[in-house]
Amino acid sequence: MTSTDREYFQNMYDESTDPWNFATSSYEQRKYALTINSLPRERYHNAFEPGCSIGVLSELLASRCERLLATDIVSSALEQAKQRLRKYENVVVESRAIPGSWPDEVFDLVVLSEVAYYFDAGSLRDILALIVRSTLPGAHVIGVHWRGETDYPLTGDRAHELINANDQLRRIVHHLEEEFTLDLWERVT
Ligand SMILES: C[S@@+](CC[C@H](N)C(=O)[O-])C[C@H]1O[C@@H](n2cnc3c(N)ncnc32)[C@H](O)[C@@H]1O
């Protein structure tokens, strides 16, 4: 399997409007708070959050960014995200699959939250090359992933090892818990 296909996620959203309980789980709320509080800069100019789902983390990111592009591949999730984020004029919600429909923009923050392990190593490396291409030195990439066993192409730990192996990204935050890993990398020259 190279990357988890859209039908997999579509089926999950057909069964539940919030399949991972992002809006209600105290585990998710705490993880989101750690994610936001790990961002070294108060403000980012242009942030990209692929795999935004129903936009719960996007709402927290909205107040830290001049502009946020939040994307997903499931239209029903995006409809919820649009509703949740409609009061934020700085947030753009779009249907886009990565790596294929990567936006032609320059970002100073890329957020990979519970999304990198749905790709195999080759596809994740392609995504990392796109991140490097669409960022300048000093930009930040944050990754947050569950560490349990998965039937996805990668585990959370392996996904972070692959990001860490990219020589254009230098890790400056490392937070490891039994259930999830959170790292933040800075784009180097
Ligand atoms: C587990 S959810 C993560 C949600 C969000 N990032 C968070 O942490 O709250 C993964 C999301 O990634 C989306 N997704 C999966 N493959 C994708 C792809 N190739 N491009 C964009 N989004 C994708 C899924 O539809 C799903 O909504």
Sheet with 135-146, edge to edge strand ranges: 91-95, 65-72, 44-50, 107-113, 135-146, 180-187, 169-176
Q: Separation of 52 CA from ligand 1 center, angstroms? A: 6
Per-residue pLDDT tens digits of the chain, which is 189 residues long: 568 899 999 999 999 999 999 999 999 999 999 999 999 999 999 999 999 999 999 999 999 999 999 999 999 999 999 999 999 999 999 999 999 999 999 999 999 999 999 999 999 999 999 999 999 999 999 999 999 998 999 999 999 999 999 999 999 999 999 999 999 999 998
Cβ < 6 Å from ligand 1: which residues?
A: 3-4, 9, 20, 22, 50-53, 56-57, 71-74, 77, 97-98, 113-115, 118
Nearest-atom number in ligand 1 for the CA of 101 is 20
Q: Separation of 51 CA from ligand 1 center, angstroms? A: 3
Cβ partners under 8 Å of residue 69, min gap 6: 46, 47, 48, 49, 92, 94, 103, 105, 107
Nearest-atom number in ligand 1 for the CA of 9 is 25
Give the residue, out of 25, 115, 124, with the most ligand 1 atoms within 8 A of its beta carbon, to mutate for a pocket test.
115
Q: Separation of 113 CA from ligand 1 center, angstroms? A: 8
Which domains, from first to last, does the chain contain? Answer: 6-187 (3.40.50.150)
- 33 phi and psi angles, rounded to 5 deg: -65, -40
Place of tokens 């349990």: 148
pTM (predicted TM-score): 0.98
Place of tokens 């998965």: 150
